[in-house]
């Protein structure tokens, strides 16, 4: 089965950007899949969507260890103040 491995995580004011490296069943790199989760977003829901999409292409799910790593980064970066500021910014853009 083809596999995925978390290869890069970047944080900016609006999201966590995630890059997953895709590997063949022989272990050869096949490129990357990228996804982003907006500040304060639902990490489990985003990884469920990624797993469903890539699973349809024969990839194993993103490991629990990699998801936990992203959650740890998010909990450090997304303080209540950061989330509130992002939500205020989004609300102001809707006006």
Per-residue pLDDT reduced to its tens digit, 3-20: 999 999 999 878 999 999
The model's pLDDT over 41-65, given as tens digits with 9 standing for 90+, comes to: 999 999 999 999 999 999 999 999 9
Return all residues near 29 (Cβ < 8 A) that are at least 6 apart: 21, 22, 23
CA 8 to each of CA 36, 39, 90: distance values in angstroms, whole numbers, following the listed order: 11, 17, 26
* Chain center to CA of 69: 10
The model's pLDDT over 19-45, given as tens digits with 9 standing for 90+, comes to: 999 999 999 999 999 999 999 999 999
* Chain center to CA of 94: 25
């Amino acid at each position: 089965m083809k596999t995925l491995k978390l290869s890069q995580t970047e944080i900016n004011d609006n999201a966590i950007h995630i890059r997953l490296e895709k590997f063949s069943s022989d272990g050869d790199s096949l490129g990357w899949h990228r996804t982003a989760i907006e500040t304060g977003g639902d990490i489990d829901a985003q990884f469920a969507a990624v797993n469903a999409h890539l699973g349809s292409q024969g990839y194993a799910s993103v490991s629990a260890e990699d998801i936990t790593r992203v959650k740890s980064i998010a909990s450090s970066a997304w303080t209540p103040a950061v989330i509130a500021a992002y939500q205020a910014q989004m609300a102001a853009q809707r006006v």
